[in-house]
């Protein structure tokens, strides 16, 4: 708007001041480099405010028309790249208002009647948080749909289930994947809660105490698509809980994606070989010609730390602030935007990796044959014959030790081998240690047996459909 290097002659508060700000103070005080991305919300908020003032008889209809037309033209110019911002304008609110005054004169100067930047910025940021949390629900749902498809199309595949990263009990690959589906389902709940927290309008609270003008807060709120108005004008300008909620949703979502990515890193090693990431989602080494690295999975894992830092950053910014608005709160933008961007990009990356990777079913199945993972079932068999479980545990433990020494698996043993260990064991022991049967026997609700996993897939499909309906019920503004 103004040339770089130009120190603006006037500020909006130039009446009270005898000197104009120096360049450093302008730069240090400015939020424009960060908050310029709020331009669409700022224009929408100002249009709603102007229309409301017009309807209340505070502004003439000619002024309202000039303001609305001017703001729409400014928005179009910003979108077409015809308007550059200058940090001399401090923040996006003053940049747009200043430009409006340059374009339409006095009517533009009337826009800020019955308003403060304090309720203005809170309104803009809430609109932005609503838009982005909704967009994140869309991206999370897309990833959930991909996980669900993978679970459905690999229903027969058995893999080792781990505790302590040691082979524990065999599970269906689909069961393992669906665990992430449910994590993402909870992440979507948190995003919806953050969306609801942002869905109340602060506009009309003015600086902190309300205004002397006969405004209609509910009309402005309704035009902007808010579900309600914030009841207390002081809370309205100083509350950033909605930003914390949004960052928290992103941080937890990132922790989940990070755990999934850690598994992708592990599974794509030669040692595991459970999956092969697509070339498009891998990178090579500048020195080692053979390398194919899971960089994108590692980056998502790494970026989880950023989102957690964003949450801590805003919590600490807010913790000592007295009511009502304090300039510290300008520091809310960076962590909020960073968390939203980081989580959005990471959802795209994880979707890209999962939807293109090759699942090496034979490698998983072969790994599931190792690790004596049927030992619990053998102990259960003994217990069902009346052997106290602690004794059964001891007997099977000794058998595992012997097998380990002789290089055999439980599945390699015949009925006579089992009978030699305990009079209670015979031919059924052979079934007890069959890995497919070990999986099939876990029919408890939420268990890994194929029929239970099929049930889970149906339940997951219903949960996803409900969250698709939520999107339809909360259309983008
Ligand atoms: N740029 C400011 C922010 O992001 C806008 C509100 C400034 N209000 C004030 N009274 N200085 O918080």
- Relative to beta strand 200-201, strand 228-229 is parallel
Q: Residue 12's pLDDT band (boundaries 50, 70, 90)? A: confident
Cα 117 to averaged position of ligand 1 atoms, centre (Å): 6
Place 9 in a pLDDT band, splitting at 50, 70 and 90: low
What is the predicted pLDDT for the residue at 123?
98
Pairing of strands 275-276, 200-201: unpaired
Per-residue pLDDT of 25-40, as tens digits, reads 999 999 999 999 999 9
Q: What is the mean pLDDT of the chain?
A: 96
**Residue 155 Cα to ligand 1 middle (Å):** 54
Q: Is 80 exceeded by the pLDDT of residue 140?
A: yes
Q: Contact at 8 Å (CB) between 230 and 126?
A: no
319 CB contacts (<8 Å, ≥6 apart)?
none
Is the per-residue pLDDT at 454 higher than 80?
yes
Extract the runs of DSSP E, i.e. beta strands, from 20-76.
none
Which atom in ligand 1 lies closest to the alpha carbon of residue 125? 4
Give, for ligand 1, the residue of 31, 33, 116, 120 to mutate: max count of ligand atoms closer than 8 Å to Cβ.
31
Please provide the size of the chain in residues: 477
Residue of 327, 329, 337 to mutate, ligand 1, most atoms within 8 A of C-beta: 327
How high is the pLDDT of residue 41?
98
Instruction: Quote the CA–CA distance of 145 and 152 in Å, as a whole number.
Output: 10
- Using a 10 angstrom Cβ sphere, with 0-12 exposed, 13-18 middle and 19 or more buried, the burial of residue 19 is exposed
Answer whether residue 5 shows pLDDT above 80: no
112 labelled catalytic: no
Q: Which of 112, 164, 351, 424 is catalytic?
A: 164
CA of 330 to the centre of ligand 1 (A): 6
Task: Report, as an integer, the average pLDDT of 279-299.
Answer: 94
Distance of CA 477 from the midpoint of ligand 1 (Å): 24
Statement: residue 318 has pLDDT above 50:
yes
pLDDT at residue number 3: 44
Question: What domains, with CATH codes, occur in the chain?
Answer: 23-113 (1.10.275.10), 118-154+171-215+225-367 (1.20.200.10), 375-433 (1.10.40.30)
pLDDT of residue 477: 81
Q: Given this model, what pLDDT does residue 18 score?
A: 87
351 pLDDT tier (thresholds 50, 70, 90): very high
8, pLDDT greater than 80: no
If you measure from the C-alpha of residue 95 to the centroid of ligand 1, how many angstroms do you get, rounded to a whole number? 12
Pocket of ligand 1 (CB under 6 A): 31, 35, 91, 117-118, 121, 325, 327, 329-330
pLDDT of residue 272: 98
Whole-angstrom CA distances from 300 to 244, 254, 312, 336 are 21, 8, 19, 18
Tens-place pLDDT, residues 145-181? 999 999 999 999 999 999 999 999 999 999 999 999 9
Ligand 1 atom with minimal separation from the 91 CA: 1
Residue 341 CA: distances (Å) to CA of 274, 307, 382, 385: 30, 10, 55, 58
pTM score = 0.95
Residue 1 has pLDDT above 70, yes or no: no
178 is written with which tokens? 């669906």
Mean pLDDT over residues 191-210, rounded?
98
- Give the mutation target among 16, 330, 331, 335 for probing the ligand 1 site: most ligand atoms within 8 A of CB: 330
pLDDT of residue 6: 45
Kindly tell me if the per-residue pLDDT of 47 is higher than 80.
yes
> Considering only CA atoms, which residue is closest to atom 11 of ligand 1?
327
363-388 pLDDT per residue, tens: 999 999 999 999 999 999 999 999 99
The ligand 1 atom at the shortest distance from the C-alpha of residue 31 is 1
- Which residues, including other chains, have CB under 8 Å from residue 205's CB and lie 6 or more apart? 116, 118, 119, 122, 230, 233, 234, 236, 237
Q: How far, in Å, is the centroid of ligand 1 from the Cα of 201?
A: 17
Q: How far apart are CA 178 and CA 172, in angstroms?
A: 10
pLDDT above 80 (res 76)? yes
Q: Ligand 1 centre from 20 Cα, in Å?
A: 18
Residue whose CA is at the smallest distance from ligand 1 atom 3: 330
The mean pLDDT value for 212-227 works out to: 98
pLDDT of 465 strictly over 90: yes
Looking at residue 219, what is its pLDDT?
Answer: 98
Structure-token pair, residue 287:
């020195």
Ligand 1 centroid distance, CA of 325 (Å)? 8
- Nearest atom of ligand 1 to the alpha carbon of 329: 12
Active site residue 285: yes
Omega of the bond prior to 7 within 30 degrees of 0, cis? no
The ligand 1 atom at the shortest distance from the C-alpha of residue 333 is 4
pLDDT computed for residue 121 by the predictor: 98
Out of 60, 285, 286, 406, which one is annotated catalytic?
A: 285
Average pLDDT (10-35) is 90
Q: Which of 121, 206, 314, 323 to mutate to test the pocket of ligand 1 (most atoms within 8 A of CB)?
A: 121
Ligand 1 atom 4, closest CA: 330
Q: Taking residues 225-243, what's their average pLDDT? A: 98
Ligand 1, atom 2: nearest CA belongs to which residue?
Answer: 330
Q: For the residues 122-140, what does the mean pLDDT come to?
A: 98
């Amino acid at each position: 708007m103004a040339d770089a290097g130009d120190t603006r002659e006037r500020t909006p508060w130039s009446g009270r001041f005898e000197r104009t700000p120096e360049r450093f103070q302008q730069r240090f005080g400015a939020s424009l480099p960060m908050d310029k991305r709020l331009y669409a919300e700022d224009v929408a908020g100002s249009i709603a405010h102007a229309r409301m003032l017009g309807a209340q008889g505070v502004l003439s209809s000619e002024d309202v028309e000039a303001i609305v037309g001017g703001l729409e033209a400014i928005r179009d110019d910003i979108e077409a790249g015809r308007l550059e911002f200058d940090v001399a304008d401090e923040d996006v609110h003053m940049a747009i208002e200043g430009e409006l005054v340059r374009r339409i004169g006095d009517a533009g100067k009337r826009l800020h009647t019955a308003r403060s930047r304090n309720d203005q910025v809170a309104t803009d940021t809430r609109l932005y948080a609503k838009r982005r949390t909704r967009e994140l629900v869309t991206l999370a749902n897309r990833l959930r749909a991909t996980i669900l498809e993978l679970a459905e199309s690999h229903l027969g595949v058995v893999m080792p289930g781990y505790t302590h990263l040691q082979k524990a009990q065999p599970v269906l690959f689909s069961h393992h994947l669906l665990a992430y589906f449910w994590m993402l389902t909870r992440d979507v709940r948190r995003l919806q809660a953050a969306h609801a927290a942002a869905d109340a309008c602060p506009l009309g609270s003015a600086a902190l105490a309300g205004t002397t003008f006969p405004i209609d807060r509910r009309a402005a709120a309704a035009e902007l698509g808010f579900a309600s108005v914030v009841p207390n004008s002081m809370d309205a300008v100083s509350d950033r809980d909605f930003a914390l909620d949004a960052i928290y949703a992103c941080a937890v979502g990132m922790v989940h994606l990070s755990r999934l990515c850690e598994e992708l890193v592990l599974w794509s090693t030669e040692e595991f070989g459970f999956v092969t990431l697509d070339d498009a989602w891998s990178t090579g080494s500048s020195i080692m010609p053979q390398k194919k690295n899971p960089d994108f999975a590692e980056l998502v894992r790494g970026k989880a730390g950023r989102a957690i830092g964003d949450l801590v950053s805003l919590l600490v910014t807010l913790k000592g602030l007295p009511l009502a608005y304090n300039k510290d709160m300008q520091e809310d933008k960076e962590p909020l935007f960073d968390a939203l961007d980081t989580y959005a990009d990471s959802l795209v990356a994880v979707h890209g990796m999962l939807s293109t990777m090759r699942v090496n079913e034979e490698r998983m199945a072969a790994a599931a044959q190792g690790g004596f993972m049927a030992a619990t079932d053998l102990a259960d068999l003994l217990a069902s014959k009346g052997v106290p479980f602690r004794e059964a545990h001891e007997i099977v433990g000794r058998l595992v030790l012997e097998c380990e020494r002789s290089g055999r698996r439980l599945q390699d043993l015949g009925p006579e081998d089992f009978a030699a260990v305990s009079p209670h064991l015979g031919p059924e022991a052979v079934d007890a240690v069959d890995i497919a049967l070990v999986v099939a026997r876990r029919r408890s609700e939420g268990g890994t047996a194929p029929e239970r996993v099929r049930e889970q897939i149906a339940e997951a499909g219903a949960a996803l459909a409900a969250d698709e309906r939520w999107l339809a019920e909360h259309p983008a503004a």
